[in-house]
């Protein structure tokens, strides 16, 4: 067996199952705010596009994706992030993938040189795929704390030069999971200057970029920052985007990777052997999804409605702030976060994720300790019901 498998830590949901084992839930209908799985309806036009292209199942899909999909993605990136015309070449700069989870993991396997003393740097808390990808690529994960003191954005200037010298890959999550924090263009440009100085690749996970609170302030992206620095060859820049959250199609497993042509050329080679091309009906539906913004605006409206309702209920009893993006709340807990998770399940039959399970302790600090992640993915009435139950539990602790 691959010896690096022994380095993997238990996934958060596996740890939650162990935490709740033997605990009898309250005699109430279960409400889960744990998994970040979108529950809004999949738009009809996407379902119709899938149905209209079932005949594509008779063909092997291209790993690189159909030209129409790559061209639609290139056009979307250019519009969304105000990139110079024709700066995103669909032939060189875009690869469709089966969801960002698969791509984020595979990317590290393709780009990390395990013969060197490799480090993969990432935020803390973090999406667990980053750590697993680093370990199975033979690298050391290095965690940068994201706390209320730094606005939940890593302090890149505080990272020792020796760490950057070992860094081969930096994972960003912008907007952040679980905090919803958004990096500014200036911070992204700071990162790109570090990447140029120390010669590492920046992989920006932007799968929450289309879920934001203010219609007039969409989160900036890494390619946008690069373009404003004159880097329209996207050197050392790779971004990951997904339709799962944007278009409520998590089961379609559709996303893309875009950026540095030389890096993507090697990543495509890896994926050709990896054997993970997107099925043709989903490629056709993805063309329709990336070309439409009306359903995404409606999606944001529904999340804003839920955030407003839940904040009204929880704000008086918990320390919680409205995030600028994502569909998560990241409140502080009145007791240990794992204990709080057990109490919510036992007293209110509400499932959440302990913040410490999404983080690693470094130098005695776990940035997720005494917080929980609440995913406002359930229908509005269930989110309101869950918030009411959480408030009642908090008031008794």
pLDDT at 25 over 90: yes
181-210 residue pLDDT tens: 999 999 999 999 999 999 999 999 999 999
Residue with tokens 């009411």: 388
207-222 residue pLDDT tens: 999 999 999 999 999 9
DSSP for residue 362: B
Question: Which residues are registered as beta bridge partners of 257?
Answer: 95, 240
- Residue 274: predicted pLDDT: 85
Residue with tokens 């979108």: 38
- Residue 370: predicted pLDDT: 97
- Residue 275: predicted pLDDT: 73
Q: What are phi and psi of 354, to 5 degrees?
A: -60, 135
- Residue 392: predicted pLDDT: 97
pLDDT at 133 over 80: yes
CA distance 184 to 186: 5
Q: pLDDT-derived band of residue 115, with 50, 70 and 90 as boundaries? A: confident
| Mean pLDDT value across residues 53-63 | 91
The beta-strand segments (E) located in the chain are: 31-32, 94-97, 119-124, 140-145, 167-173, 201-205, 237-242, 255-259, 328-329, 350-351, 353-354, 372-375
The set of residues, in sequence order, having a beta carbon less than 8 Å from that of 206 and lying 6+ positions away, is: 174, 175, 219, 221, 222, 239, 240, 241
- Residue 240: predicted pLDDT: 98
CA distance 355 to 375: 12
Nearest to 236, CA basis, from 204, 210, 268: 204
DSSP for residue 371: B
- Residue 327: predicted pLDDT: 97
Q: pLDDT-derived band of residue 14, with 50, 70 and 90 as boundaries? A: very high
Residue ranges and CATH numbers for the domains of the chain are 3-41+295-396 (3.90.1150.10), 55-292 (3.40.640.10)
Q: pLDDT-derived band of residue 276, with 50, 70 and 90 as boundaries? A: confident
- Residue 22: predicted pLDDT: 93
- Residue 209: predicted pLDDT: 98
Q: Strand, coil or helix: what is 44? A: helix
For the chain, give the mean pLDDT. 96
Q: Strand, coil or helix: what is 94? A: strand
SS (H, E, C) 264-326: HHHHHHHHHHHCCCCCHHHHHHHHHHHCCCHHHHHHHHHHHHHHHHHHHHHCCCCCCCCCCEC
Q: Helix %, strand %, coil % for the chain, to 5?
A: 45, 15, 40
CA distances from 166 to 21, 194, 222 (A): 41, 12, 22
- Residue 397: predicted pLDDT: 87
134-179 residue pLDDT tens: 999 999 999 999 999 999 999 999 999 999 999 999 999 999 999 9
């Amino acid at each position: 067996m691959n010896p690096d498998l022994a380095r993997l830590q238990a996934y958060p949901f596996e740890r939650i199952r162990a935490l709740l084992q033997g605990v009898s839930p309250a005699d109430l209908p279960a409400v889960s705010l744990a998994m970040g799985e979108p529950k809004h309806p999949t738009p009809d036009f996407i379902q119709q596009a899938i149905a209209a292209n079932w005949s594509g199942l008779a063909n092997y899909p291209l790993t690189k994706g159909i030209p129409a999909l790559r061209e639609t993605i290139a056009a979307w990136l250019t519009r969304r992030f105000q990139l110079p015309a024709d700066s995103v070449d669909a032939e060189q700069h875009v690869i469709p993938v089966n969801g960002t989870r698969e791509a984020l993991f595979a990317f590290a396997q393709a780009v990390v040189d395990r013969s060197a003393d490799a480090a993969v740097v990432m935020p803390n808390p973090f999406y667990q795929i980053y750590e697993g990808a680093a370990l199975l690529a033979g690298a050391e994960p290095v965690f940068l704390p994201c706390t209320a003191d730094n606005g939940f954005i890593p302090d890149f200037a505080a990272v020792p030069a020796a760490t950057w010298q070992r860094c081969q890959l930096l994972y960003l999550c912008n907007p952040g999971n679980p905090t919803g924090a958004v990096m500014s263009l200036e911070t992204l440009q700071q990162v790109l200057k570090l990447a140029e100085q120390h010669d590492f690749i920046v992989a920006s996970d932007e799968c929450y970029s289309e879920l934001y609170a203010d219609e007039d302030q969409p989160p900036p992206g890494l390619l946008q920052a690069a373009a404003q620095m004159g880097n329209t060859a996207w050197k050392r820049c790779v971004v990951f985007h997904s339709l799962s959250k944007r278009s409520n199609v998590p089961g379609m497993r559709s996303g893309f990777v875009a950026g540095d042509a030389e890096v993507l050329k090697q990543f495509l080679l890896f994926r050709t052997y990896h054997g993970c091309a997107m099925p043709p009906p989903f490629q056709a539906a993805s063309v329709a999804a990336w070309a439409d913004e009306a359903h995404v605006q409606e999606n944001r409206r529904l999340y804003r409605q839920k955030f407003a309702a839940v904040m009204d209920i929880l704000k008086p009893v918990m320390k919680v702030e409205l995030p600028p993006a994502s569909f998560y709340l990241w409140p502080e807990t009145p007791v240990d976060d794992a204990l709080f998770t057990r109490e919510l399940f036992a007293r209110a039959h509400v499932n959440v994720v302990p913040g410490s399970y999404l983080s690693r302790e470094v130098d005695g600090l776990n940035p997720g300790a005494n917080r929980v992640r609440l995913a406002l993915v359930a229908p509005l009435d269930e989110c309101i019901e869950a918030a009411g139950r959480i408030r009642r539990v908090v008031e008794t602790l």
